[in-house]
Amino acid sequence: MEAVVCGIDPGLGVTGYAVLRASGERMSVLDAGVCRFDEKLPLPERLGCLERDITGVLSEHQPSVVAVEELYAHYKHPRTAILMGHARGVILLSAARLGMEVRSYAATHIKRYLTGNGRATKAQVQRAIQTALGLSTLPEPSDLADAMAIAMCCAGDISAKRPMELVS
C-alpha cells in the first residue's frame, strides 16, 4: 500500500515538516523543510503565518495522513506547552479544513519506533533517520529531523496496518 504522509513538528518560532512517500517498508522524501516565524510578532500574527505556510504544504502535496507530535507538558515549563498547543491547533485546523486524516504520536512512541528506545537522544534519532532514508547528512535542524521522525513513525504504522487513535 502506497501512502503520502506529512509529519509536522509544531512550533511558534520554527515548525518542521516532512512529506514522505511510503510503499511497504520503503520510504522516500518528497519534501522537507521548516517554516520560520519572527518571534517578535504578536501571537495572532505568528499563528496566521503558520496557517498560511502549513496549508500551502498540505495543499501542494495532498498527503493521505498528517501526523503531529502530541503535546508534552514539562512541569517546569507549562507555558511552553500552552503556546505549542496554539500552534498544534492551527495545524489540526489546517488539515481538517482540507479533509485530511490526522494522527497524533507521543514523542516516546516515535523514538521507540526509530531506535527501539523511547528515551533516545536527538542524535540517535537523527542517525536512525539518516540511515533509514539513505541521507548523505544528518537531517538538521532538529525541527526538521523531528518532523521526519513523526512522518516515518506514521508511515510505519500504515505499512504495518496498525490502527492508530485519531486525534480527538
Distant-in-sequence, close-in-space partners of 80: CB < 8 Å, separation ≥ 6: 73, 74
Active site residue 146: no
Catalytic: 38? no
Alpha-carbon span 39 to 47, nearest angstrom = 11
Helices 142-159 and 122-133 sit at what angle, rounded to 10 degrees?
60
Instruction: Check 9, 53, 146, 157 and give the catalytic one.
Output: 9
- Parallel/antiparallel/unpaired status of strands 26-36 and 65-69: unpaired
Which residue out of 53, 143, 146, 157 is catalytically annotated? Answer: 143
Please tell me the predicted confidence (pLDDT) of residue 162.
67
Determine the pLDDT at residue 107: 93
pLDDT tens by residue, the chain, 168 residues: 799 999 999 998 999 999 999 998 899 999 999 999 998 999 999 999 999 999 999 999 999 999 999 987 666 778 888 888 999 999 999 999 999 999 999 999 999 999 999 999 999 999 999 999 999 999 999 999 999 999 999 999 988 876 654 444
- Give the orientation angle of helix 78-97 with respect to helix 43-61, to 10 degrees: 40
Domains of the chain and any CATH numbers: 2-159 (3.30.420.10)
Instruction: For 55-152, list the strands marked E by DSSP.
Output: 65-69, 101-105
pLDDT of residue 7: 98
pTM over 0.85? The answer is yes
Active-site annotation holder among 39, 51, 69, 146: 69
